[in-house]
Amino acid sequence: MENKKEKYFRLTIKSKNVKVGTELAVYMSIKQKEKYITWREHIMKVGVLKDIKVGEYRVIATPAEVSMLVGDGNEVYVQKGAGEGSGFQDEAYVKEGAKLVDTKEEIYATCDFVAKVKEFEPCEYKLLRENQIVFTCIHPAAHPEEVQALLDSKCIAFTAEDSHRYGSPNCEAAGKAGALFGLESLLSINGGKGKFVNGLGGAPGVKALVIGGGVVGRAAISVLHALGAWVTVMDINIGTLRDIGKQFNEEVNTQISNRYNLKKILPEIDVVYNCVRWPKDAKEYMIDREMVRSMEKGSVIVDISNDYGAIETFHETTHENPRYIEEGVVHYCVSNIPGAISQSTSIAYAASVLPHFRSIINNGVAQACAKDGFLRRSLTTYKGYLTHEETSAIQGRPWVRPEDILEIADQKLDLAPSTTKSHSDNFIKLEK
């Protein structure tokens, strides 16, 4: 028999026309259920920011996503000009029910849920508010000041790059566009040795090395292979290499990725693409300075992953000034390559994150994270607590597991693999 609280919950749910599935009803405590009712009574104000990172033209939501969020009963606020860099005019957002606002300050001050594409800039730190939900590509482990701002504000922050079950469209965009930028960097006018991708007459084509066979690497391979480059791919997983061989009809070369093979092949490679998420606490470089020096003058390194620690000669560049030459090798190290194909990337990326937005808004943070392990692992800070393991490991900050701070550890949780090899036992002890 149901107790009085259960009966109250059942009747309240019925009276408020709130639909709660069987699974949710089974695994939620009375306290959580009552919170859920309150959550759904609140009309969520969702804010779409105009990204301000240099060279960034993408937008986190197109008019299509705004239409669906408004249809769900939310109020959607769009900063003027947010979509212009991707070909979406303000009028298109208004037509779908959005409210235009002039400044980012208005978005942060008005909205419960704020989203953008790239990391928070220092000018945004003081605009974050307690209990405000924010969703963007934070890259927290590499940005300690940004993390501190999130903690100080006591907001609820999700780092988008960790939330993708099937790989981010941004990764595919980075791989495909990065492949082209590498070939462009080989041109004599850009400091390269001046080789054409598939050769001409009696002149040989480009020898390309792709390190990493994930979403980014396979995207790069697809472009290079289609254009007729001589492609070698390296990965630490033999199963991945077998899959890539089948995918490209055994028309690409495959090798196990290790220092021996890298040192041996680099002197004969024209352009290298780093598509590996290198551990930020690694004790050695994947490609050190001596290995860079072994490459022919005018060769190219494209660091698509853009991780400090992978390549010793790396430093971040921008679309405005994308290249530099070190040890005679052209380096292309733009951190937001997908921004160069902003319309295609925005359409694909916005569609991929919309289910997360709707789940958080409709279910609340705790239940959204219970239902989706990939979203749960992307929770970075929660009301002043660090909830991101890699950031704890790299920055030496204490952290708490999302399932513990959200009080969902006793529920049936959707599982997801860890995003990092960097582990931390530096736990915060929560008061019960």
Active site residues: 139, 307
Number of H helices and number of E strands within the chain? Answer: 17, 15
How is residue 265 written in tokens?
């092949």
Give the count of beta carbons closer than 10 Å to the beta carbon of residue 335: 22
Asked whether 350 and 209 are in contact (CB, 8 A), the reply is no
Report which of 335, 306, 349 is spatially closest to residue 86, judged by C-alpha positions.
Answer: 349
* 271, amino acid identity: V
- The Cα–Cα gap between 347 and 317 comes to 25
How is residue 306 written in tokens?
């853009």
Q: What is the DSSP-derived secondary structure letter of residue 328? A: T
Alpha helices in 252-396 (DSSP H): 259-265, 289-293, 342-363, 365-371, 373-378, 389-395
Asked whether 346 and 85 are in contact (CB, 8 A), the reply is no
Q: What is the DSSP-derived secondary structure letter of residue 287? A: B
Report which of 280, 265, 202 is spatially closest to residue 234, judged by C-alpha positions.
Answer: 265
Alpha-carbon separation of residue 66 from 58, 154, 222 (angstroms): 15, 27, 32
How is residue 211 written in tokens?
């390190």
Question: Residue for token digits 């939310």?
Answer: 74
- The Cα–Cα gap between 10 and 15 comes to 9
Q: What is the DSSP-derived secondary structure letter of residue 84? A: G
User: Length of the chain in residues, anyone?
Assistant: 432
Strands 323-326 and 300-303: unpaired
